C-alpha cells in the first residue's frame, strides 16, 4: 500500500509488511530508517477516540445547540448546523508527536552526516549544478523538511510524505499533515507543495522557494482503494472508532454499490419516505436525518437515503427554496459511507426492481411515527419503509425519535462531518494568511435593521465602534479576518488603517470557474455547474473565523444585544 512514499493510511500504517517495504526502499541509511520508523510510530492517529459530550446525551441536552425549544420543535433559524467534528475536542495525544526542527535537522543530520557534509564541501560539483535534483535522496528530504518547519511557524507538523519529482529538474513536491499550532479543532490538514532546490558548485543543496498551498500536486496521493461501506458489517464496533477528518485528502464520495444480488438479498433496509422536513433549515434536516440513521443503526439495517437535498430559502440568494442540491455539497459522504451502512435511494430501487420478484423480497410499511423503533426490532422483512404524511408537525422524521424512543435511539453525530471540499477552502484561506490571523464575526444584515429586537447592534457594529472594541483585543497591524453578512465590504474601510483586513470574497478564486472545487463539484453533479451558495458561504466564513487565534464574536463581545432578539440572552 505504501510503496515507500506518501502517507500510509490509517488502516495500513502499522502492518509489518509495510514497514518492511519501507525499510527496503531506504536500506543503506540506517539512521534514516530509524527516523522513518520513528515518524511512523509518532504519528499514529488513535482510532479509538471518544468525543466529548454533549454528543452522546439524550436530545434534551442537545436542545441548546440546536436552538430548538424544549419540546424539540424548531425555531426556524438560518444558523449553520453543527456536525460531529464540532464536538470533538482536540487532544494532542490523538495526533501523535509534533515533528520539530530538532527531529529532522538537528540530531539526525548532524550526528550522521557531519563528516559527509564536510567532504562534500571540498568536492567540486561545478559540473553538476544543472543536473536534475534527485528528490528521493534522503538529504533532499531532510532539507525540505527543515525548510518547511522553518518557514511555517504557526503550524505543527505530524507527518511528512517522501518527496517526489516535481514538474521540472529543479523542483520536488512533498506532502505533510499538520494542524494549526493554536487549533482547538480535532482535524488534521494535508498540504503538498512544490519546492525549488538549487545545487551549488561546492555540492550543497538549498531550498530556493516554496510554492503556495497545494502547489505540489504530484505529492498528492490517492488513498488506496477502500472497501465500499456497504460491504462492512453494519455498525456496532465501527461506530466507536471516531477518527479525525483529514482536510485536503483526495475525496472519493462515489455512491456505494451493492456488489451482488446475493448481498442485496441478505441486506436489511430502512427507508424514510415523504414528510415535512424538506426545505427546512439545515438544523432541522440533520436532526431528522440523524434520527433516521440512528434508527437504522438500532435496527442493524442499511439506511436507504435520498442524497438530494432542498436548500431552504433562508440560505439562498434567490430567497426561494432550491431543490437539486446534494448531500455531498455540504457533508462528508465518504466518511458516512465508510463508517455506516448507507445506500442511495436510486441505486436501491433499481436493484430492488431487478430482483424483488425473483427473490421474494418483502416490505413492511409503517405510516405512523408513534410505532416505535423498538416495536420494529423483530421485523424480518427486507425493507422497512416509514411513510410520512402531509400534516405538519406530525410528519417530521425526528418525531420517530421522541418519547420512549429518545432514550433508546442515539443520534450518531460522529458520522456527520462537514464537506471536506468546503473545509479545504477554509484551509486554503487560512494558509494564505499563514494561519496567523485574528478574527471578528460581525453580524449585521436584517438584525441590524431591526431596532426593536436589536436596539444597539447597528451602532455597536459600526466601524468606529469596532475600532474601539477591538483596540484592546487585537494588536495593530495584525491580519484580521472579518466574517460578516454585511454585503457592502467598503463599510469596513476605516479598519484598514489599523489592521490588514480580509474578507471571504477576496478568496473567490478558490471556488470560481478555474478552481479545483468547481471542477470537482461539477463532476459530482453530473456535469452541471454548482453554485457556491449561501449555506456554503456562511459555512466557510464561519469556519475561517473559528480558526483565528483570537476570535471576537458579535454577541457578548461587541454588543449587549441578545443573539435571538430582545430579552433572549441566556444566563
What residues make contact with ligand NAG under the rule CB under 6 A?
A: 69, 71, 73, 91, 93, 100-102, 121, 166-168, 170-171, 194, 196, 200, 202, 204, 222, 225-226, 228, 236, 252, 254, 256, 299-300, 377
Distance (Å, rounded) from C-alpha 223 to C-alpha 231? 18
CB of 71 to ligand NAG, least distance (A): 4
Beta strands in 259-301 (DSSP E): 269-274
Q: Name which of 41 and 101 has its Cβ closer to ligand NAG.
A: 101
Contact assessment for residue 102 and residue 145, using Cβ atoms and an 8 Å cutoff? no
CB of 294 to ligand NAG, least distance (A): 12
Q: Name which of 200 and 260 has its Cβ closer to ligand NAG.
A: 200
CB of 316 to ligand NAG, least distance (A): 28
User: What DSSP state is assigned to residue 64?
Assistant: H
CB of 274 to ligand NAG, least distance (A): 21
Task: Please identify which residue in the block is written with the cell numbers 475536542.
Answer: 89
CB of 202 to ligand NAG, least distance (A): 4
Distance (Å, rounded) from C-alpha 123 to C-alpha 327? 60
Q: Name which of 76 and 100 has its Cβ closer to ligand NAG.
A: 100
Contact assessment for residue 552 and residue 443, using Cβ atoms and an 8 Å cutoff? no
CB of 161 to ligand NAG, least distance (A): 18
Q: For residue 287, what is the enclosing H or E element?
A: helix 282-298
Q: Name which of 64 and 202 has its Cβ closer to ligand NAG.
A: 202
**Of 226, 358, 379, residue with least CA distance to 298:** 379
Q: Name which of 102 and 508 has its Cβ closer to ligand NAG.
A: 102
Q: Name which of 133 and 510 has its Cβ closer to ligand NAG.
A: 133
457-461 contacts, C-beta under 8 A, 24 or more apart = 457/554, 457/559, 457/561, 460/558, 460/559, 460/560, 460/561, 461/554, 461/558, 461/559
CB of 206 to ligand NAG, least distance (A): 7
Kindly state the cell numbers that stand for 173: 513536491
Q: Is the dihedral of CA 216, 218, 224, 229 positive or negative?
A: positive
CB of 11 to ligand NAG, least distance (A): 14
Q: Name which of 201 and 451 has its Cβ closer to ligand NAG.
A: 201
SS3 177: strand
Cα angle at 307 between 509 and 298, to 5 degrees? 130
Residues 6+ apart with CB under 8 A from 409: 291, 294, 295, 298, 373, 400, 401
CB of 61 to ligand NAG, least distance (A): 18
Q: Name which of 50 and 553 has its Cβ closer to ligand NAG.
A: 50
Neighbours of 11 (CB within 10 A): 14
Q: Name which of 120 and 278 has its Cβ closer to ligand NAG.
A: 120
Amino acid at each position: 500500500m505504501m510503496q515507500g512514499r506518501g502517507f500510509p493510511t490509517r488502516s495500513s500504517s502499522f502492518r509489518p509488511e509495510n514497514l518492511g517495504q519501507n525499510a527496503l526502499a531506504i536500506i543503506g541509511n540506517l539512521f534514516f530508517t530509524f527516523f522513518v520508523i520513528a515518524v511512523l510510530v509518532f504519528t499514529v492517529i488513535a482510532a479509538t477516540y471518544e468525543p466529548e459530550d454533549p454528543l452522546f446525551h439524550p436530545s434534551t441536552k442537545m436542545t441548546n445547540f440546536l436552538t430548538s425549544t424544549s419540546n424539540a420543535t424548531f425555531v426556524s433559524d438560518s444558523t449553520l448546523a453543527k456536525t460531529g467534528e464540532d464536538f470533538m475536542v482536540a487532544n494532542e495525544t490523538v495526533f501523535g508527536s509534533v515533528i520539530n526542527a530538532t527531529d529532522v535537522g538537528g540530531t539526525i543530520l548532524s550526528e550522521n552526516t557531519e563528516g559527509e557534509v564536510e567532504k562534500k564541501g571540498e568536492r567540486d560539483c561545478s559540473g553538476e549544478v544543472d543536473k536534475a535534483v534527485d528528490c528521493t535522496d534522503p538529504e533532499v528530504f531532510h532539507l525540505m523538511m527543515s525548510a518547511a518547519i522553518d518557514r511555517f511557524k504557526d503550524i505543527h507538523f505530524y507527518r511528512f510524505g517522501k518527496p517526489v519529482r516535481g514538474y521540472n529538474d529543479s523542483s520536488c513536491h512533498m506532502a505533510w499533515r499538520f494542524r494549526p499550532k493554536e487549533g482547538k479543532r480535532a482535524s488534521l490538514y494535508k498540504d503538498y507543495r512544490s519546492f525549488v532546490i538549487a545545487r551549488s558548485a561546492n555540492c550543497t543543496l538549498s531550498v530556493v522557494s516554496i510554492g503556495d498551498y497545494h502547489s505540489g500536486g504530484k505529492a498528492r496521493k490517492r488513498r488506496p482503494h477502500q472497501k465500499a461501506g456497504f460491504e462492512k458489517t453494519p455498525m456496532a464496533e465501527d461506530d466507536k472508532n471516531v477518527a479525525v477528518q483529514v482536510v485536503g485528502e483526495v475525496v472519493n464520495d462515489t455512491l456505494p454499490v451493492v456488489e451482488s444480488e446475493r448481498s442485496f438479498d441478505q441486506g436489511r433496509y430502512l427507508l424514510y419516505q415523504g414528510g415535512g422536513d424538506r426545505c427546512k433549515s439545515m438544523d432541522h434536516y440533520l436532526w431528522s436525518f440523524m434520527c433516521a440513521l440512528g434508527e437504522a443503526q438500532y435496527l442493524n439495517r442499511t439506511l436507504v437515503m435520498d442524497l438530494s437535498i432542498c436548500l431552504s430559502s433562508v440560505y439562498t440568494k434567490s430567497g426561494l427554496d432550491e431543490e437539486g442540491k446534494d448531500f455531498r455539497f455540504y457533508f462528508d459522504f465518504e466518511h458516512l459511507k465508510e463508517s455506516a451502512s448507507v445506500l442511495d435511494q436510486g441505486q436501491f430501487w433499481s436493484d430492488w426492481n431487478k430482483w424483488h420478484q425473483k427473490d421474494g423480497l418483502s416490505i413492511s410499511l409503517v405510516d405512523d411515527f408513534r410505532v416505535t423503533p423498538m416495536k420494529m426490532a423483530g421485523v424480518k422483512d427486507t425493507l422497512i419503509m416509514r411513510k410520512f404524511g402531509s400534516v405538519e408537525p406530525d410528519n417530521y422524521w425526528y418525531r420517530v425519535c421522541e418519547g420512549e424512543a429518545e432514550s433508546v435511539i442515539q443520534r450518531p453525530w460522529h458520522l456527520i462531518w462537514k464537506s471536506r471540499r468546503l473545509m479545504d477552502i477554509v484551509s486554503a484561506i487560512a494558509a494564505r494568511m499563514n494561519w496567523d490571523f485574528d478574527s471578528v464575526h460581525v453580524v449585521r444584515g436584517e438584525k441590524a435593521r431591526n431596532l426593536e429586537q436589536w436596539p444597539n447592534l447597528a451602532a455597536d457594529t459600526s466601524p468606529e465602534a469596532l475600532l474601539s472594541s477591538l483596540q484592546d483585543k487585537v494588536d495593530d497591524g495584525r491580519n484580521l479576518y472579518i466574517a460578516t453578512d454585511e454585503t457592502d465590504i467598503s463599510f469596513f474601510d476605516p479598519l484598514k488603517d489599523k489592521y490588514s483586513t480580509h474578507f471571504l470574497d477576496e478568496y473567490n478564486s478558490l471556488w470560481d470557474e478555474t478552481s479545483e472545487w468547481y471542477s470537482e463539484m461539477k463532476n459530482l453533479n453530473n456535469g452541471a455547474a454548482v453554485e457556491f451558495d449561501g449555506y456554503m458561504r456562511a459555512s466557510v466564513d464561519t469556519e475561517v473565523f473559528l480558526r483565528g487565534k483570537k476570535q471576537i464574536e458579535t454577541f457578548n463581545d461587541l454588543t449587549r444585544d441578545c443573539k435571538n432578539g430582545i430579552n433572549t440572552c441566556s444566563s
